[in-house]
Chain A
Amino acid sequence: SAVISQKPSRDICQRGTSLTIQCQVDSQVTMMFWYRQQPGQSLTLIATANQGSEATYESGFVIDKFPISRPNLTFSTLTVSNMSPEDSSIYLCSVVEGNLGQPQHFGDGTRLSIL
């Protein structure tokens, strides 16, 4: 299975600033996703990162707030912009390889706290 490196693992940021999270995969994968997990909650899909084109955002998430890049099949970034305390969450990138029976594999997550 793919090995996913996600950085940073955690950060504490001031409100109003932006943070970019990186996700590097050790093999080419078709599907990459970004999730948010608020404290004590389940995972919420932010967007599907599309290689070479704009990400596909889920309802409630917009590109201005969560710009995503995916320049190739092994790398993606998620930026959390103009942060507020409500953005304090774990952010996870994930990949899926192949058919229906393949699980998602996740990076170790970025634990973000906004002061």
Chain B
Amino acid sequence: AQKITQTQPGMFVQEKEAVTLDCTYDTSDPSYGLFWYKQPSSGEMIFLIYQGSYDQQNATEGRYSLNFQKARKSANLVISASQLGDSAMYFCAMREGGTGNQFYFGTGTSLTVIP
């Protein structure tokens, strides 16, 4: 089974609107971390936000928030007030406490912000 599943290959959003990028994960480890990265067309990977499996509250970082639903094993990224510069690939990733080192990446979602 895939460790990280991103079912939206491509998404479009109107500038200034909010958008949700979906991510589901699969693990039997009670301790894990979930991460979102942004990859612009220039290729660098930019860390956006982190959610720990034991965190009681959803993580937020500026315009980014993570909708963490542990029972459903989902960790959706919400981008509020979309900007043209948000157009990029977005990857969800997981790190398990047991293995510790390896990160599992999803296939990514391409987001296009429309002016």
Q: A residues engaging B (CB < 8 A)? A: 31, 41-43, 45, 48, 90, 92, 94, 96, 100-101, 103-109, 111
Contact = CB atoms under 8 A, between A and B. Distances in A.
How many B residues touch the partner, as a band?
Answer: 20 to 34
B32 A31 contact: no
Given A42-B108, A100-B97, A109 B47 contact: no
Interface in B57-101: 91, 93, 95, 97, 100-101
B101 A31 contact: yes
Contact of A104 (B47, B52, B106, B107): B47
18 contacts: A41-B107, A42-B91, A42-B105, A42-B107, A43-B91, A45-B102, A100-B31, A100-B97, A103-B50, A104-B93, A104-B103, A105-B47, A106-B45, A108-B42, A108-B43, A108-B44, A109-B43, A111-B43
A100 B102 CA distance: 10
Contacts of B35: 103-104
B101 A96 contact: yes
Nearest to A45: B102
Nearest to A10: B43
A109 B93 CA distance: 18
Contacts of A90: 43
